[in-house]
Structure 1
């Protein structure tokens, strides 16, 4: 059954029988036979076919969702059993929100490679909402996310506290003031992250707690672009200290002395199962160690 589902999922993802056959190193007739057999067992047509496309039917969408879950469980089962007698090896699929993924994860992966060279990490960077969905849908083994998240089918384990500040360019008139009242910031141009981002959620939480509603905002999907825009004087922003430590040290960005800041949030590990492969355990050890070693 696992072979049948793998063929089905590959056809669904490539939307083409020939490309699926190439990816699976099979003949096209063999792929077609697997699909016919699965459709017969499900008593439903799973694909709409034409000379131009192959697309999932409504029944096919249901089967695809569960097929990915079953294949993920099957792969994880093999990895866990293999771990009982072998050293850490294989691929682990890791997701991370932008702040952790771009500014902390590379150091963790370097240490993982040194201790477990036969482990191959496959990394996806996205906002918190995207990473949680990918873990829940069995597209990722584990995620590192930011902010407060709940999910009925996932385990959420906070492991690190993050500090959030309002930042500006060194030339900004508010830099160097003993204290900025949040109301002074309401008239500023704010450069913020997109919806679904943990940083965006914290920014909105800061606005609410400060009782301000900025009139001018720019929305960017990249923390790096936000930092460069703030440095260029296009506005101010609310970011994790992890993201701008180097620029602060180089005096390219400055923290504004705002009442009630810094605001704290969590980084958390999100996963589906209590059973973890040896490769996963080593990776998570490195994540925790990096947190403990943080100055």
Structure 2
């Protein structure tokens, strides 16, 4: 007897494949069985889910809406089934981590190495994205945990701080005179500024701090890459706001200089995020323990 869940699994595969015949191969079902399943689901919901064309099928507007919910639900179910397998002494399974490019490069790599050496049979799936994108992926069940810039204000997520970072201003040789004495934030904004794009959590944090001092910024350069911040400052295009812990190589080699501002930007945290309503898998728990250490 085919269950409602079975029908939804068929529905999702047809939506992804855009073809009954392709979906039947993926599901190891006959094409008539797939077609009958979709017809049964449409009857039960009393709504048309697909438009049939000579090239295959496409979702109706109602079908698109249903797919968003059902696909997320099935991803969560699949995640739950995968977590059960991980109970076998962590000898199998997959750890799906969401992380931004900068945190991945400058913070996460040593912890991934340590975890892999301890549990070599576990697979890693690393998905890069913005903090907003990663929070959405957690909720849809596509990743187990995310490593993000804090703060994150979302009641559905559990947030565990695992490291502190500090935002600073740096410059190249052209503006090196700014490093001799303390400089006020008011003076900093008179120079060409180099910041991350407005959607970045790091940018929002610094911008909020500066607004609290009555200072509104209007950067000359807004970039999508932390590495570009360092390079733009190095070639004297302006004053860049960067994370000190992620800029050590440039600072130690004398490629960039830290500007000593009169009022330091308060340090902030990098944190681990996961869904409150779904218990962490054993693999995720062990990885979080390594991060917290």
TM-score band w.r.t. shorter chain = 0.7 to 0.9
Residue 226 (structure 2) aligns with: 223
* Residues 1:168 and 2:168 are matched in the alignment: no
* Residues 1:246 and 2:249 are matched in the alignment: yes
How many angstroms does 1:154 deviate by?
1.8
In 2, Cα distance between the equivalents of 1:15 and 1:187? 55
Residue 288 (structure 1) aligns with: 292
In 2, Cα distance between the equivalents of 1:194 and 1:202? 12
CA contact (8 A) 2:196 2:223 kept: yes
How many angstroms does 1:6 deviate by?
3.5
Residue 39 (structure 2) aligns with: 36
Counterpart of 1:267 in 2: which secondary structure?
strand
In 1, Cα distance between the equivalents of 2:26 and 2:239? 48
Q: 1:166 to 1:45 in 2, by over 3 A?
A: same
Farther off after superposition, 153-162 or 79-88: 79-88
In 2, Cα distance between the equivalents of 1:236 and 1:24? 56
In 2, Cα distance between the equivalents of 1:236 and 1:286? 36
Counterpart of 2:241 in 1: which secondary structure?
strand
Q: 1:215 to 1:163 in 2, by over 3 A?
A: closer
Structure possessing the higher radius of gyration over alpha carbons = 2
In 2, Cα distance between the equivalents of 1:45 and 1:164? 53
Residue segments in structure 1 that go unaligned for 5+ positions in a row: 290-295
CA contact (8 A) 2:170 2:257 kept: yes
TM-score by length of 1: 0.86
In 2, Cα distance between the equivalents of 1:268 and 1:253? 27
How many angstroms does 1:13 deviate by?
3.7
In 1, Cα distance between the equivalents of 2:108 and 2:227? 16
| Root-mean-square deviation (Å) | 2.5
Residue 293 (structure 1) aligns with: none
In 2, Cα distance between the equivalents of 1:12 and 1:217? 44
How many angstroms does 1:33 deviate by?
4.1
Deviations 1:237-291 (A, max 9, x none): 21222321111111112211012214211212111145222211222122223xx
Residue 239 (structure 2) aligns with: 236
Counterpart of 2:116 in 1: which secondary structure?
helix
How many angstroms does 1:143 deviate by?
0.9
In 2, Cα distance between the equivalents of 1:230 and 1:123? 30
Residue 201 (structure 1) aligns with: 204
CA contact (8 A) 1:188 1:216 kept: no
In 1, Cα distance between the equivalents of 2:196 and 2:268? 16
Residue segments in structure 2 that go unaligned for 5+ positions in a row: none
Count of residues in Structure 1 that have an aligned counterpart in Structure 2:
289
Farther off after superposition, 280-289 or 2-11: 2-11
Query: In structure 1, which of residues 150, 155, 160 is the aligned counterpart of residue 158 of structure 2?
Result: 155
Deviations 1:5-27 (A, max 9, x none): 33433333454555555655666
In 1, Cα distance between the equivalents of 2:109 and 2:39? 45
How many angstroms does 1:130 deviate by?
1.3
In 2, Cα distance between the equivalents of 1:64 and 1:197? 29
How many angstroms does 1:88 deviate by?
4.3
Matches within 5 A, 1:1-295: 1-17=4-20, 20=23, 29=32, 31-51=34-54, 54-272=57-275, 273-289=277-293
In 2, Cα distance between the equivalents of 1:91 and 1:198? 28
